[in-house]
Structure 1
Amino acid sequence: MIRLVLVEDEAMLRGALGQLLDLEPDLTVVAQAADGTAAIAEAARHVPDVVVMDLEMPGGPDGLEAAGRILAGRPDTRIVLVTRHARPGVLTRALRAGVRGFVPKSRPAAHLAQVIRDVHAGHRHVDPEIAAAALVLDCPLSERELDVLRLTREGLSVRDIAGRVHLAAGTVRNYLSSAMTKVGAPSRHAAARYAVERGWL
């Protein structure tokens, strides 16, 4: 029997999906959680084989951050992320974190059940549409542009970034401006968010 922890912030969806998965002869939902913090606690308490978790959850850690914390404590736990907005960059970050499955919420419960079986058996499952999008998504930013956007994400000022990368503040501004232009972002912070969403940072 494959033991599951199910994490979904929408109560109705969580309850319905839990019932559907429990109908599968080889799956059992041992706990449910409504947010990332509760997911981490339930995974530690029940030590499930697989955690099925919503990627987008309000407040606290999102599904990706919660997955990382769960895997830090028990790296043999299999994580399957489900999402309405399956951006390719998120897929890249999820795979780097050790997530084994990535499924859009548009897929039926029977499909999710089979994905759970596959990742439990040691396989990785990535939705084909998401995988195809990720393959064609090239990063137009240079290494220096990525460096200054990465430091922008840390909340550093232009002057502080310049000190960290050993460049003049004007040069840093030029890199930031170039990055903003390439991705069509109105600010350096928006450019950094754009880069994160696409898995470039």
Structure 2
Amino acid sequence: MLAGSIPGNIGFLTNLVLMDLSGNNLSGNIPQTLSNITRLREMSIADNLLVGSIPEELEQLTDISLMFLGGNSLSGTIPTTLLNLSYIQILDLGINMLSGKLPSDIGHMLPSIQWLILGENKLDGHIPDSFGNASELELVDWSSNSFTGQIPSYLGKLHKLSHLNLGRNKLEAKRQSKMAIFKCIKPLSSRNALIIWKSTTRTSAEFCW
């Protein structure tokens, strides 16, 4: 039940490799000084009361593989500098107030990404085609946003994908593209993937569970 802000001088703990402050009542902004802990490999400040934007300076955490920032009230756009974290395997930004469009090259810039959790934000625009190159993806949760456009057929080519949640967006699969969607679903369902196509709009569209 820790409360208050994360002290800025936490950045002096330069030998830390793991930091878990999750599940408290920490408030205020994410201190930019976290970027000084360049040896960090795992960081979780999820499930707190943090506000403000995600510091662009976090790109200096070049060794980090797990980053959990979900369950706060973070706002603004997803910093493009996060795309420089080439070793990151799990990135959880879900349950915040992040907005804007995803960078078009996000799938190219995160070659090691396995879990990408963006659900319950205010993101919009199309899902970038570059995700078709994120071959290590295992879990994807982009639910409860405002993504638009067609459900990407390339999802069926992500052979390691075992959990997919696209529910509560504005995505569509028009009747004429129904067979293309089934071709996408088939390889996923053969691995018992959880596939959620449910949409809150587009009532004339074809969706599958």
**Bigger helix share:** 1
TM-score (norm 2): 0.30
From the two aligned structures, give the one with the greater strand fraction: 2
